[in-house]
Amino acid sequence: MLILVRRQEGYAGIVLPCIAGVTKKISPSIAAAREPGFLWGVSTSSFQIEGAARSDGRGDSIWDAYCRQQGRVKNGDTGDTACDHYHRYSEDIALMRDMGVDAYRFSISWPRILPRGRGAANDHGLAFYDRLIDALLEAGIEPWICLYHWDLPQAIHELGGWQNRDVAGWFADYAALVAHRYGDRIKRFATFNEPCVFTLFGYGLGWNAPGIADKAALHRAIHHVNLSHGVAIDVLRATVPHASLGAIHNRQPCFPASPSADDAAAAQRFAEYWNNAFPHPQHFACYPQHLAEAIEPYLRPGDLAQIARPVDWFGLNHYSPHYIKADSNLIGATFGVPPDDVPRTAIGWPIVPGAFRETLLDLHRRFRLPIYVLENGTAADDKLDEAGRIQDPGRIAYLQAYTSAMQEAIAAGADVRGYFVWSLLDNFEWASGYSQRFGLVYVDFDTQRRVPKASARWYSDYIAARRTSPIPASGRAPLNETEAR
């Protein structure tokens, strides 16, 4: 087994500390996971598209409860119907097949298959994912499962949710159910999607479900999610032969929003939560220095080893860099305004393809794992034109710029193996409700009619072109001599 001793480096001018000299083990199963070709895909998540919230025995999730609280979600929108994907999955798979994607990443709704989060399973819910997986395989599309994309069963929340250490056991049981049921057909599993976002926004800042803003709650949640990741990796590894496993993290350079020292310190603090609170314990068996003290009260002997289980790839979600300013909130930092000359998308996120290229290269240097970009894309103010079509040149330009940046990173040595657009469909964009359209396919939420946008055609042509002229595999840059021992 190859052991690397890693050098700690700054990132985009900001030093992101972890304990120096940490050892990193590379999983022997990486070799088994090597893909013959680059994968082009699309991503979605259960709560954002499925709907059928009260059908066939599904239990409530924290997002159902959160949507019912007045003022939490824009326009009082809910996930009750969403894209009605639960009933229209065949049509959605046909859209993907027409687009020519290789792979589809979706998440399992924990409360759909375990309505109380634990205990008795719901056969109807389990059967839904059987149908979905079988139809994907029949269409020649590789299914990628994410176990957790933010829809915690409300019943688990009522037992303390991510704040209760027992959640690791409940999550392991849920992972075992999924692995036993679908492991004959699925090889790719991710444990969590963007743990930094749902913990920080849900438990630290109160912007997402379950709407808590409490420092201790945040730190407990961070540690218990990390622990749950580690135990789920063990369960999946033990249950699914040749499983190819990872977690999905977003990493964004965090730039100070102004030259002030306060903003510089805020950007550094924010980056600890955003970029390092999960990848560091999961890959290096340590918390970043400034978080270590806060997590200490919840840490038990053996936890870090349990968390840092070898994985096969690093799942990256990336949309933009952040411009961070000091704030009086409980982490002392929040989103500031990007400089005037930085263009922004409809949702206000900065468009900086160069930051994507640098993020990929930084990831490659730090983690030495195959990288799958599992979310990238943009919201746009899409409207049907008189001919009933959607022209979305802004999204096409964004995707062109970001895929070019990815190719530059690959040419410079980043080991990127796949790219998935967020998202297949316009969908429920969390606290923004249905006001932000991220889909390659437009959804008329009154009629549930789907209309592929111009960007869907662009992506389809782009994938077809890459088949005849594939992206050359990265040179897998040799390790820097000071890193390798």
Q: Specify the residue, 171 or 274, whose C-beta has the smaller distance to ligand FCB.
A: 274
Which residues within the stretch 434-473 sit at the binding site for ligand FCB (CB under 6 A)?
Answer: 438
* Whether the Cβ atoms of residue 423 and residue 41 lie closer than 8 Å to each other: no
Residue with smaller CB distance to ligand FCB, 375 or 382: 375
DSSP secondary structure code for residue 200 in this structure: I
| Residue 177 or 425 with smaller CB distance to ligand FCB | 425
Least Cβ distance, residue 78 to ligand FCB (angstroms): 16
Min dist. Cβ of residue 361 to ligand FCB (A): 22
Query: Can you spell out the DSSP letters for 410-468?
Result: HHTT--EEEEEEE-SB----GGGGGGSB--SEEEETTTTEEEE-HHHHHHHHHHHHHHH
Give min distance, CB of 238 to ligand FCB, in A: 28
Contact at 8 Å (CB) between 318 and 254?
Answer: no
Size of the site for ligand FCB (CB under 6 A): 11
Rounded CA separation 76/357 (Å): 37
The residue from 194, 272, 358, 429 that is catalytic is 194
Q: Are 289 and 18 in contact, with CB atoms under 8 Å apart?
A: yes
For residues 151 and 415, which CB has a smaller minimum distance to ligand FCB in the complex? Answer: 151
Residue with tokens 């890193």: 483
Answer yes or no: are the C-beta atoms of 306 and 235 closer than 8 Å. Answer: no
Please report how close the Cβ of residue 420 comes to ligand FCB at its closest, in angstroms: 11
C-beta separation of 107 from 148 below 8 A = yes
Q: Does 106 bind ligand FCB (CB under 6 A)?
A: no
Q: How far apart are CA 114 and CA 116, in angstroms?
A: 6
Closest CA to 187 of 29, 324, 304, 58: 29
Nearest residue to ligand FCB by CB is 194
Place of tokens 């314990």: 281
Nearer to ligand FCB, 122 or 275 (CB): 275
For the chain, give percent helix, strand, coil, nearest 5.
40, 15, 40
Binding characters for ligand FCB, 186-205, by CB under 6 A (x = yes):
-------xx--x--------
Set 50, 142, 272, 375: catalytic member: 375
Q: Which of 372, 430, 434, 458 binds ligand FCB (CB under 6 A)?
A: 430
Return the number of the residue (175 or 425) whose C-beta is nearest ligand FCB.
425
Residue 375: active-site member: yes
Return the number of the residue (182 or 428) whose C-beta is nearest ligand FCB.
428
In whole angstroms, the minimum distance from the beta carbon of 36 to ligand FCB comes to 28
162 contact partners, CB below 8 Å, separation of at least 6: 152, 199, 203, 220, 221, 224, 225, 228
Which member of 162, 273, 419, 422 binds ligand FCB (CB under 6 A)? 422
Which residues in 363-392 contact ligand FCB (CB under 6 A)? 375
What is the C-alpha R_g of the chain?
21
Parallel, antiparallel, or unpaired: how do β-strands 244-250 and 322-326 relate?
unpaired
Q: Which amino acid does the sequence have at 341? A: D
The interface with ligand FCB within residues 236-295 (CB under 6 A) comprises none
* φ and ψ at residue 331, rounded to 5 degrees: -105, 0
Q: How far apart are CA 404 and CA 389, in angstroms?
A: 27
* Interaction of residue 317 with ligand FCB, rule CB under 6 A: yes
Residue 77 interacts with ligand FCB (CB under 6 A)? no
Cross-strand partners of 61: 153
Find the shortest distance in angstroms from Cβ 202 to ligand FCB. 12
Closest approach, Cβ 193 to ligand FCB, in A, equals 5
To the query of whether residue 50 is one of the catalytic residues in this protein, the response is no
Select from 27, 45, 276, 403 the one that contacts ligand FCB (CB under 6 A): 45
Question: For ligand FCB, which is the closer residue by CB, 201 or 367?
Answer: 201
Q: How far is the CB of 299 from ligand FCB (least distance, A)?
A: 27
What totals of helices (H) and strands (E) does the chain contain, helices first? Answer: 17, 17
Q: Which parts of this chain interact with ligand FCB (CB under 6 A)?
A: 45, 48, 193-194, 197, 317, 375, 422, 429-430, 438
Write out the catalytic residue numbers.
Answer: 194, 375
